[in-house]
Amino acid sequence: MKHNALTLSGPRVTEGCIRLPGSKSISNRALLLAALAEGTTRIDNLLVSDDTHWMLSALKQLGVSVQQVGQQYHVQGRAGFFAASQLAQVSLFLGNAGTAMRPLCAALAASSGSFELTGEPRMKERPIGPLVDALRELGADIRYLEEEGFPPLEINGSTLLSGQVSIDGSLSSQYISALLMILPLLEGQENTRLELTGDLVSLPYIDITLAMMREFGAQVEQLDERTFLIPPGQRYVSPGDYLVESDASSASYFLAAGAIAGQIRVEGVGSASLQGDKAFADVLARMGAEVTIEPHAIEVQAGPLQGGDFDLNAIPDAAMTIATLALFAQGTTCIRNIGNWRIKETDRLHAMATELRKVGAGVEEGEDWICITPPSSLQAATSIQHATIETYNDHRMAMCFALLAFDAAGVTILDPQCCEKTYPAFFHDFNQLTS
C-alpha cells in the first residue's frame, strides 16, 4: 500500500478560468481510429496520462508509427487491422486502462497474429465477458488465461465476418464502443446488425463513439436505441487534423468547486461537446448553483445548494463528484442507477460510502445507489471531520475528495499520484484556482 499523502487545508474559495486536458475517452478512441485509418492523423490536445500511455505503448508494439511533433501526435494509419508476426506472440500490458483493454481486444480479434492482453491486478478483476461473447459470435478465437470472463486474454486473430451479433450493455458501454469501432472493417456480403441487450448504461459514451467513427468516414445507421446496421468492407480515412475536447469528467471537480464557494469558468467543454458528462452542469443547476452554458465553456457561481434524488446512469464518472458535493448541500442527496461504479478502477460504491462515513456523513448504500446526508452541523463551519482519505488507486476518488478543502476541516488524501491515470496536474491546477 502506498503511504504518501497530501493535506489540503481549508476553508477555501475558488475563482478563475481553466482549460482542461483532453478527454481520456476521446483520446484513446482517436488513437485507435487513427491507427486503423488510411493516412496520417495529427491529434491535438491528446491527454497525456497513464491510460493514454498504455494505448500508445500498445500501438507502437503493434507496428504503428506515432511521432510527437510539438504538442501534436502524428499517427500513421495502417489502413485496416493489425498484422503481427506468426512466429511470436505479442504480449501487451495495459495497466488498468479499460479504454485500452476493451477496444484493443476487439481490434486484435480481427487482426492477424497471436496476442496476449494483460494488466495490473485490478484489471484482472474487471469483467470483459460480454465483449468476448459478442466477438465469438462473429468468429473470434479468444481464450481466458486465468478466471473465466476476465483478463488476461489470449487472442488468436482471424478474419471476422459481418452478420448478426448481440452484446450485453448492462455493465459497461465500453464493450459496445469497442465492438462498434471494428464492425465497419469486417468482410462479408451482408450488413452487420448489432443488437444491444440488458439495461443499457452510459449511453452518451456510445454517442461519442458513433460521432468519432463518422468523422473518420464510417457509415453507421442507428435504427433505434438498441439496433445498429453497419455495412461491411468499409475503410476509416484520416480527417487530417483531429482536436480532442477537454475532459468533461475532469471539469466536474472545478465546476463543483464553483458551486460550493466562489465562481469558475471552464473552457473547452460546453453545449457543443460530444461528451455526455457536460450534463453535470445541469445537475448543479438543479441543486441551486448559478450555471451558464456556452457552446465551448461552462461558468458556475455558488448558490445555496439543496440535495435531491438523481438518476445519473448516463454520467457515472461525473456522478462521483455529486457524492462529495452532497456534503455541502442541505438535506439528503441520492444518486441512483450507478451499478457500474462497482466494476471501475475500484468498487466505487463501497469506496465512496466508506470514505464519506469518515468525515461524519450519514451514508446508505445499495447495489446500484447511494444516499448521502451531510453532518448535521454543516452550517456551523465545523461540520465535516478531518479525515485521511484512502483512494484505492482510483484517480476519481482522489479528485472528488479534494472538494473537502472547501470546509474548515480540510482533508488528507493518500496516494495523490493516482491522478496520473487521467490528470497528472490535477492538484497543481486545483491549488492554483483555490485559496
254-281: pLDDT as tens digits: 999 999 999 999 999 999 999 999 999 9
Q: Which of 227, 261, 276 finishes a domain? A: 227
Under a CB-based contact definition with an 8 Å cutoff, are residues 189 and 142 in contact?
no
One domain, residues 320 and 218 = no
CATH number where 183 lies: 3.65.10.10
One domain, residues 58 and 200 = yes
Asked whether residue 176 is domain-assigned, the answer is: yes
Asked whether residue 390 is domain-assigned, the answer is: yes
One domain, residues 267 and 205 = no
Domain that holds residue 78: 24-227
Residue 44 φ/ψ region, left for φ over 0, alpha for ψ in the -120 to 50 degree band, beta for the rest: beta
One domain, residues 307 and 223 = no
Asked whether residue 236 is domain-assigned, the answer is: no
With cut-offs at 50, 70 and 90, classify the pLDDT of residue 2. very low
Stretch 139-158: mean pLDDT: 98
One domain, residues 286 and 250 = yes
Asked whether residue 237 is domain-assigned, the answer is: no
One domain, residues 10 and 33 = no
One domain, residues 213 and 252 = no
pLDDT > 90? residue 1: no
Stretch 74-80: mean pLDDT: 98
Q: The whole model's pTM is what?
A: 0.90
pLDDT > 60? residue 298: yes
Q: What is the pLDDT of residue 378?
A: 42
With cut-offs at 50, 70 and 90, classify the pLDDT of residue 311. very high
Binding residues for 3-phosphoshikimate: 24-25, 29, 172-174, 202, 317, 340, 344
Q: Identify the active-site residue in 317, 394, 407, 415.
A: 317
CA distance 375 to 357: 10
With cut-offs at 50, 70 and 90, classify the pLDDT of residue 84. confident
| Tally of structural domains, the chain | 2
With cut-offs at 50, 70 and 90, classify the pLDDT of residue 86. confident
One domain, residues 31 and 9 = no
pLDDT above 70 covers what percent of the chain? 97
Asked whether residue 232 is domain-assigned, the answer is: no
Q: Which of 227, 261, 285 finishes a domain? A: 227
Asked whether residue 240 is domain-assigned, the answer is: no
Stretch 312-328: mean pLDDT: 96
Lowest mean pLDDT among 120-124, 172-176, 290-294, 384-388: 384-388
pLDDT above 90 covers what percent of the chain? 94
Q: What is the pLDDT of residue 3?
A: 62
Asked whether residue 101 is domain-assigned, the answer is: yes
With cut-offs at 50, 70 and 90, classify the pLDDT of residue 179. very high
End-to-end Cα spacing for the chain: 31
352-382: pLDDT as tens digits: 999 999 999 999 999 999 999 998 744 444 4
Q: Which of 194, 227, 260 finishes a domain? A: 227
Asked whether residue 326 is domain-assigned, the answer is: yes
One domain, residues 428 and 329 = yes
One domain, residues 109 and 249 = no
Known catalytic membership, residue 317: yes
One domain, residues 263 and 391 = yes
Nearest to 348, CA basis, from 400, 405, 409, 278:
400
pLDDT > 70? residue 7: yes
One domain, residues 177 and 72 = yes
| Cβ neighbours for 132, distance < 8 A, ≥ 6 positions apart | 105, 140, 142, 144, 149, 153
219-255: pLDDT as tens digits: 999 999 999 999 999 999 999 999 999 999 999 999 9
Q: What is the pLDDT of residue 376?
A: 72
Q: Cα separations (Å) of 271 from 200, 292, 297?
A: 23, 10, 8
